[in-house]
Amino acid sequence: MVLGHRRHSLSSNRSSTDETRDNSQVTGDDETVVDSEQSNVLSHIISQLRPGADLSRITLPTFILEPRSMLERITNFMAHPETLLPMPAIEDPHERFVSVVKFYLSGWHIKPPGVKKPLNPILGETYTCYWDYPDKTRGYYISEQTSHHPPKSSYFYMAPEHHIRIDGTLKPRSKFLGNSAASLMEGLAVMRFLNHNERYFITQPNMYARGILFGKMKYELGDHSFVRCPELGLEADIEFKTKGWVGGTYNAIGGYIRDMKTGKNLYELSGLWTGEMHAKNLSTGKKQLLFDASHARETPPLTRPLSEQDERESQRLWQKVTAAIKQRDQVVATDEKSRIEDRQREEAAKRSDEGVDWHPRLFRAVKGGPGGPEEGEEDLDWIIHTRIDGATPAEQTKQILAIAPIIPGQHAQQKFPIPERKHEDLQQPAAGGGDLIDFGQNQTAQHPEGKASRFVSRKDSDTQDIDEFVDAES
């Protein structure tokens, strides 16, 4: 079985890449009205493209950007603790699986108004945060941009007292489709219930921006996504339905929860990912409300003050860009964004000239394949480098906090060993191909086997402090 594979709907007469849309039911929260000057900018960019072109190397105008990094946007999926935390305590396996589907569907309504794209993280960018829950427990999140071309955002979440752990890597690919732009959301998340020894393999729907050439810009989710639990032998096939030429409804979902061995459908899923979503038990005929997004209030994560953050942490790195976007100052936003991007290009060129291979600091390559400790999880590509195996939640929390600063008052380590420079010794993931030398930054990476031999000094551009890093022998 290939986990993370996405197939197209067999019941739909049109694919989600079709361009002609009936916009009669578009809501204001899902659309963006582009003025004439902005339209000219978009038209100039689009005129240089052909349908199917890769947009990952295209610099997009800042007026369509969301004022936060993709690493931060991923936390939308942990923003409803009322659906997240109770899951491992549910004893009935089928009800527990349904609760996972409920959790999965609860985060899609969280987005800025209109059509907005999050900032592309630079190589080595990190973002950490935490949640304080009503029961006095905490959830912790750590993420890092583990590749720039192709883009890969790797993340880790854990709520020790609730026996929940999530490992994931998001691998978006952008394509120009004529009057639409698509963000193909490849990658995988593996959610674990440690008290049940269960894994839930989760993929994502694709995202579409419609009407980028004419009409109003509209945001849609489309295509199939899956939730699979091999230990329970259950899977959910969820279709995010895009609106067709004439009929249909925006933001609709449909699908089934089925027994993977027999193929028997157990529950039918229906509703709107922006409204009410239901699950119907096909044995009893009983229909239950899974989640009502129209009345839901998310719980945003908490972060350390900017003064405590490293220059490569998302909120500090992009603070001038995000402030300008919020103030609708496109000139400053563009200039500050270009400054960051130019700097990472220069750093990438320098590493290339010096023959230095970049490696993530917080994540390691997945050890998959037959007999490997992460067999079946190869699509993750990268996983948090620290083994979290404490016997108690307190011990696990201590291990998590040792990975990177998360809560206020923690401070980043000043010295990180750079991985060995011998290319054959660097463990790269099999999936995705290519090296990780493109477009990065010069923060050194932590490697458990790196041997320190000399120090490299770097001046912090904001505080003027001198940080010392440990280089490795070439």
Give the H or E element holding residue 223: strand 217-229
What confidence score (pLDDT) does residue 123 get?
95
Judge if pTM exceeds 0.85: no
Per the CB < 8 A criterion, the answer to whether 98 and 104 are in contact is no
Tell me the percentage of the chain whose pLDDT exceeds 70.
72
Bridge pairing between strands 164-176 and 234-241: unpaired
Q: Which residues contact 283 (CB under 8 A, 6 or more apart)?
A: 266
pLDDT in tens, 309-343: 999 999 999 999 999 999 989 899 999 999 999 99
Reported as a single tens digit per residue, the pLDDT across 38-87 is 445 455 455 555 565 555 555 556 667 899 999 999 999 999 999 999 99
Determine the residue type at 263: G
Instruction: Tell me how crowded residue 387 is: count the other CB atoms within 10 A of its CB.
Output: 8
pLDDT tens digits, one per residue of 245-296: 666 788 999 999 999 999 999 999 999 999 999 999 999 999 999 999 999 9
* Residue 177 scores a pLDDT above 80: no
